[in-house]
A = this chain, B = another copy of it.
Amino acid sequence: MVVTCISSTPSPVSGSRPDRAGARFRAEIVEQPDALLRLLADTRAIAVAARAIGRAGPPFIRLVGHGSSDNAATYGTYAFGLLAKIPAFRASISLSVYYEADEETAAQPVVALSQSGRTPDVVDYVERARRHGALTIAVTNEPTSELAGAAEIVVPLGAGPERAVAATKTYVNQLGAIALLAGAIGGREGEIADGLRRTAELLAGAVDTLAQPAVDAARPLAFAGRLFAVGRGVEFATAREVALKLTETCRIAAEPLTTTDLAHGPVAALDSLFPVWAVATRDPCLPTVLEAAKRVRAAGAFLIAAGDAAPEVQGAAVRLPVPEAPVPVLSPLLSIIPGQLVALALAEARGLDPDKPAGLEKVTLAA
């Protein structure tokens, strides 16, 4: 496959100087379509992993990761359920690494996600699982990392070096790799690969189109100290990742909630000074998002709607629509874009550097 560069036109997003605060974060957001095409250029390892899982026919798959990688794992629970028809769960790392109570899950395959491949307890988890005889698959941007060395099969993300502390292109490529893997297990590899190629084009367009709307959307958030990000189903991964971007780059206490989480308590905290970000995508969970949006408005909260169904959300003060995904399960690759762009714009407006948030390193070595 030929990797084509489809984001070469300068845009309000891509036209900044490389030494400016947030320049890396910005450049990596813009680079995402190309990064995704690089993942698609070589899917041999994914095919190997899919065959190995197919042969094992496991009752379930374990997903592990932290931060953005854990958000990608949330996506995995849906992608494996919908495409591979295999239950997948975010497994407790502490149950294995700290309590050492993992003999029973030990035979089941592990998909370990880490951009750097250096997250200590994820490496530890994979080493233990492999000692127990489990099939171990590392999905990482660093194919020579410790994690890659620990796992039986390595799926390289091919995103290219990610230098901003806040993950963007590695997150989108993690989603892409998971969709390809789950699709290959379910015999839908061609459909998912084609869908991802088309998604890369749509991504490039969305990054361009949303650049200015994201700057406008960030303006009313200037003094926001907290926010709820609401999504359901596959888009709960997006709610989690939007919340994490806003928390780490803009210092907002942004909490991800499913639509039912919101109804079971947190809605009581809302008022007109409390912004809520609703991920609205045309999928079977959309009615719960529209219902949650209604409750948010009834509580007087400021509502931001992002996703391909953003125009359908009643009472939203801000709408950030994205193109419809070519295959429904791929929508999270597009609906994260408004979150990344608003995080960039708001960090800039606050004089924060999203490339280097306070107290964070690119590789998190803490337990």
5 A-B residue contacts at CB 8 Å?
A66-B260, A81-B95, A87-B105, A225-B226, A267-B359
Give Cα A288 to B121, complex, Å. Answer: 11
A residues touching B (Cβ–Cβ < 8 Å)?
59-60, 66-68, 70, 77-78, 81-82, 85-87, 89-95, 98-105, 108, 121, 166, 225-228, 232-233, 236, 244, 247-249, 251-253, 255, 258-261, 263-271, 274, 284-285, 287-288, 291-292, 295, 298-299, 357-360, 364, 366-367
In the complex, which residues of chain B have a beta carbon less than 8 angstroms from the beta carbon of A228?
253
Contact A121 B253 (CB under 8 A): no
Assess A98 versus B284: contact at CB under 8 Å? Given A66-B261, A268-B360, A364-B263.
yes
Q: How far is the CB of A81 from chain B (nearest CB, A)?
A: 5
Choose among B67, B98, B102, B227 the residue that contacts A264 (Cβ–Cβ < 8 A).
B67
Among A59, A87, A121, A287, max chain B CB count under 10 A is at A87
Further 9 A-B residue pairs, CB within 8 A, beyond A59-B59, A94-B285, A253-B255: A60-B87, A81-B92, A81-B105, A98-B232, A227-B253, A253-B269, A263-B366, A288-B367, A291-B367
Complex: how many Å from CA A280 to CA B347? 33
7 closest residue pairs by CB, A with B: A67-B264, A268-B357, A248-B265, A59-B59, A226-B253, A89-B89, A263-B366
Chain B residues near A268 (CB-CB < 8 A) = 247-249, 251, 357-360
A2 → B minimal CB distance (Å): 35
A266 to B66, CA, bound (A): 12
From B104, B253, B258, B366, A260 is in contact (CB under 8 Å) with: B366
In the bound complex, residues from chain B placing their C-beta under 8 Å from that of A287 are 367
Report if A360-B261 is in contact (Cβ < 8 Å); known contacts: A78-B95, A95-B81, A98-B233.
no
